[in-house]
Amino acid sequence: MAKPKKTWFAILGLLSWRPMSGYEIKKFVENALSFFWSESYGQVYPTLKALVDAGLAKKLPRDGLGSRRQRYSITERGKRELAKWLSSPSEPPKSRNEFELKFFLNSSRPQKHNLKLVEEYRSQQQELLKDFLESEKLLKIAVRNDALPEELLESMPEIGDSDNQQLTVFYLTLRHGIHAARARIAWCNEVLSFLQS
């Protein structure tokens, strides 16, 4: 393994939670991790194949008769490689934030445009925060009671059989998103009052 590929470990890491199929992996990332991760089908299926070839994952027999799903599980070697990667330092993210770029480049134009831009951004972030807080409420209950509320299962069926430690990490990761969204909203308010003064 020359350079560790993030997609490899993202998928391997999900398999370390429990065996999953390509479709499940895609949906899980999309529904539950979208605020800090993304994968496309064009990545997921080839990567699963590559993980098997590298001996880090293996195909599980398709259970039942009508089952169309091809599930994969992590191997012992896979676990070791994953553990190694999880302990390695993360490179600081090279973010490319379109909004910030636009805001920055707008300097030579009337400030009215920037105000509109910031207001749009703020309502985007407020929407996001609302969703986060809803999930947070339910996850908090889940962690406390070690049981998943009906509502949570409806909005995120993929976290179905998670244990308490997984739910806790989920909750804490969500807190990261909440802090970030709040910070962005606070910035918007600051900028709006600055520009209007």
- Span 122-141, contacts to its own copies by CB under 8 A: 124
- Span 3-22, contacts to its own copies by CB under 8 A: 6, 9-10, 13-14, 16-17
- With binding defined as CB under 7 A, does residue 73 bind DNA? no
Burial of 51 (C-beta count, 10 Å sphere; 0-12/13-18/19+)? buried
Task: Single out the residue of 66, 70, 14 nearest to residue 39, CA to CA.
Answer: 14
Instruction: Give strand pairing partners of 72.
Output: 20, 59
Q: Which is nearer to DNA, 45 or 85 (CB)?
A: 45
Q: How many residues bind its own copies (CB under 8 A)?
A: 63
Contact flags string 170-189 toward its own copies, x per CB under 8 A: x-xx-xx--xx-xxx-xx--
Question: Largest alpha-carbon pair distance within the chain?
Answer: 69
Q: Which is nearer to DNA, 5 or 140 (CB)?
A: 5
Give the footprint of its own copies on this chain (CB under 8 A).
Answer: 6, 9-10, 13-14, 16-17, 33, 35-38, 82-83, 85-87, 89-109, 113-114, 117, 120-121, 124, 165-166, 168-170, 172-173, 175-176, 179-180, 182-184, 186-187, 190-191, 194
Give the footprint of DNA on this chain (CB under 7 A).
Answer: 2-3, 5-7, 21-24, 38-43, 45-46, 48-49, 66, 68-71, 94, 96
